[in-house]
Amino acid sequence: MDGVNQQHHMDDQVNNMNVNSCARFKLETDETSHCYRRHFFGREHHDFFANDPIVGPLVLSVRTEVISSCDHFRIILRTRKGTIHEIVSATALADRPSASRMAKLLCEEITTEQFSPVAFPGGSELIVQYDEHVLTNTYKFGVIYQKGGQTTEEQLFGNPHGSPAFDEFLSMIGDSVQLNGFQKYRGGLDTAHNQTGHQSVFSEFKNREIMFHVSTMLPYTIGDAQQLQRKRHIGNDIVAIIFQEANTPFAPDMIASNFLHAYVVVQPIDALTDRVRYRVSVAARDDVPFFGPTLPTPSIFKRGQDFRNFLLTKLINAENAAYKSSKFAKLAERTRSSLLDGLHATLRERAEFYATPLLESTSSGGESAATTSSSSNSYGGGILSSVKKAFIGRSRSVSQEASHVPHRAATINVTSRPKKSISSTSSSTSARTHSPIRDEEVVKPYRKEWEISSQESPDNEHDSDTGMESMSSTEMSGQTRASSCTFCVDDFHVAANHQSSDAKRLETLCVDVTRLQNEKHDLLRQNVSCKTDIKKLKDRQSVLSEELERANDEISRLRRMLKKPSNSDMAPVHQHFERSYSDVSV
């Protein structure tokens, strides 16, 4: 347990200290869960998903950055085992980077080569929701009142009331609230029927809501030695505060719980006076990693806002660190696997839904080369490239068709043929046309108009030319009259000009977009370079801070060696803590 071997004669030094240097306390959260929103969401990037036969569902996010004048890839890979975030140099991927190669750089177990792009609206929202599922803004902590000489669980939970010093401490860490009708985070307490007490302590800290399960405020059952109404709430918390009324030993194994992983022991000094201070010590299980902020030397705090900030930060960081222990890590892995399976299934369903209309539009093109190019680039080209190719192919076919129309429809020769030849000629014309299906649909109104005009005129009863096929005058024996038709030719010219201008405009826009993207990449590269330098400076600052702490510890040790310890005012040192709990100096 950290903080128990403090010399009591140093209390006078605490009164003159600047509030134990508790000016800034940092909340420790999973930085990987923030990466997608910070570096990808709302910016140009690429998302992919795949299903590996060994690793399982995969979701990959990639964006290009420039660091120190060199191209890099910022990559996030999500697997059932966790989320990996790395920045990889472009040279590691040679000249042809691909989604599969990027994924294999972060996880060598991946074998699949088939990665599908997330090229539909709402994909980024689904991914950021998955990444941030581990983040929470609500916490619940237990607060146990321990009288002098109490060393068993039954005694700790059996205190019907607290003390004025305990109430003074509770008023500092939060506000007393009425549970009946309480609208904010209730932490599992009953806010309708007062079955878990009438009052509790609630606090808001750095946009987070905290509900305290205070042992003396939970229902007290006469005749129940275990006080199950109290233990079922505090025993299910992960972190608890032990408020010691007097100098009494506390061991974490006093309370039997599968969830409690960390304890913050608080002992008042000169309670209910203007010089009230609190001695703090921390204990946690062996598999709970280090968490901050670090306890000062001595670990004695003045009552005030700075001590409240330190204590609440310590409690939140303790719970976040406890989630990384072996017990909670297994639960988190099962939850993560289930959510990743659901994310992968949703991405696949939406990709299939949005890809169906695109495949129908591109597969109807008249040119086989355009169709082959569209299908081969379905994974890497994206929707914009496919639509562009389909549109250009359509424009080319319409332009080619329009170029032949003046020769085909310049003259319409009327002969004395039967009426039934109209349908046969029309069918043969449609069979020989080279325009796509949608182009034929555009031409159909003009075809109907030609057929109606030829049927209404008695002189044109035997006309078989609909304007869709060329016919020379030498092929028509017995021509009696020729009439010119320029209406169809003009309409085709107008349609062809519109299609060509649209294609040119689209190509111009694509060039502008490419230029803007390059400029954006240059700015992002400069930004990343600056951030990298800042990170290096912060790392250097962290190393220097650790060296300074070690130097301070050495100075304190030397001072203790020079000074003769005074045992008259020193509290007895507790010696019987369980070895199964590690001391966390945070």
Tell me what the mean pLDDT of segment 333-344 comes to.
95
Q: How far apart, in whole angstroms, are the C-alpha atoms of residue 74 and residue 35?
A: 10
18 secondary structure, DSSP code: S
Sorted by where each begins, the domain ranges of the chain are 22-135+327-363, 136-324
Q: How far apart, in whole angstroms, are the C-alpha atoms of residue 83 and residue 366?
A: 45
Q: How far apart, in whole angstroms, are the C-alpha atoms of residue 530 and residue 540?
A: 15
Residue-level pLDDT at 60: 96
Place of tokens 């309480």: 182
Number of other CB atoms surrounding residue 25 within 10 Å: 19
Q: How far apart, in whole angstroms, are the C-alpha atoms of residue 45 and residue 340?
A: 20
Tell me what the mean pLDDT of segment 525-545 comes to.
86
Burial environment of residue 192 by CB neighbours within 10 A (0 to 12, 13 to 18, 19 or more): exposed
Residue-level pLDDT at 454: 38
Tell me what the mean pLDDT of segment 90-107 comes to.
87
Q: How far apart, in whole angstroms, are the C-alpha atoms of residue 351 and residue 369?
A: 24
Question: For 169-189, what is each residue's pLDDT tens digit?
Answer: 999 999 999 999 999 999 999
CB 61 within 8 A of CB 79: no
If one compares 128 and 382, the residue with the highest pLDDT of the two is 128
Tell me what the mean pLDDT of segment 461-478 comes to.
40
Backbone conformation region of residue 329, classed left if phi is above 0, alpha if psi is from -120 to 50, else beta: alpha
CB 340 within 8 A of CB 80: yes
For residue 443, what are its two tokens? 């031409």
Selection from 159, 119, 120 nearest residue 143 by Cα: 159
If one compares 459 and 4, the residue with the highest pLDDT of the two is 4
Alpha carbon 19 to chain centroid, angstroms? 38
Residue-level pLDDT at 486: 45
Task: Answer whether residue 221 shows pLDDT above 60.
Answer: yes
Tell me what the mean pLDDT of segment 53-65 comes to.
95
Range in 212-216, 260-264, 489-493 the model is least confident about: 489-493
Question: For 265-288, what is each residue's pLDDT tens digit?
Answer: 999 999 999 999 999 999 999 999
Alpha carbon 182 to chain centroid, angstroms? 31
Q: How far apart, in whole angstroms, are the C-alpha atoms of residue 470 and residue 450?
A: 15
The proportion of the chain whose per-residue pLDDT surpasses 70, expressed as a percent, equals 68
Selection from 339, 348, 345, 344 nearest residue 82 by Cα: 339
If one compares 49 and 4, the residue with the highest pLDDT of the two is 49
Task: Answer whether residue 366 shows pLDDT above 50.
Answer: no
The proportion of the chain whose per-residue pLDDT surpasses 90, expressed as a percent, equals 49
Residue-level pLDDT at 283: 93
Q: What is the pTM of this model?
A: 0.59
Residue-level pLDDT at 339: 96
Span 22-135+327-363: which CATH code? 3.30.1120.160
DSSP string, 545-568: HHHHHHHHHHHHHHHHHHSPPP-S
Q: How far apart, in whole angstroms, are the C-alpha atoms of residue 373 and residue 389?
A: 8
Range in 107-121, 158-172, 346-360 the model is least confident about: 346-360
Question: For 293-313, what is each residue's pLDDT tens digit?
Answer: 999 989 999 999 999 999 999
CB 271 within 8 A of CB 166: no
**Secondary structure of 501-548 in HEC code, one letter for each residue:** HHHHHHHHHHHHHHHHHHHHHHHHHHHHHHHHHHHHHHHHHHHHHHHH
Tell me what the mean pLDDT of segment 122-142 comes to.
94
Question: For 485-509, what is each residue's pLDDT tens digit?
Answer: 444 445 555 566 667 788 888 888 8
Residue-level pLDDT at 494: 56
CB 112 within 8 A of CB 210: no
Using alpha carbons, list the distances in angstroms from residue 559 to 10, 503, 550, 554, 585. Answer: 11, 82, 14, 9, 20
If one compares 465 and 545, the residue with the highest pLDDT of the two is 545
Question: For 397-440, what is each residue's pLDDT tens digit?
Answer: 444 444 444 443 333 343 334 333 333 333 333 333 333 334 44
Could you tell me the fold of the domain covering 136-324?
Rossmann fold (3.40.50)
Question: For 546-584, what is each residue's pLDDT tens digit?
Answer: 899 889 988 988 888 888 655 544 444 444 444 444 444
CB 212 within 8 A of CB 173: yes
Bridge partners, 276 (sequence order): none
Q: How far apart, in whole angstroms, are the C-alpha atoms of residue 22 and residue 304?
A: 11
CA dihedral 54, 55, 61, 66 (to 10 degrees): -90
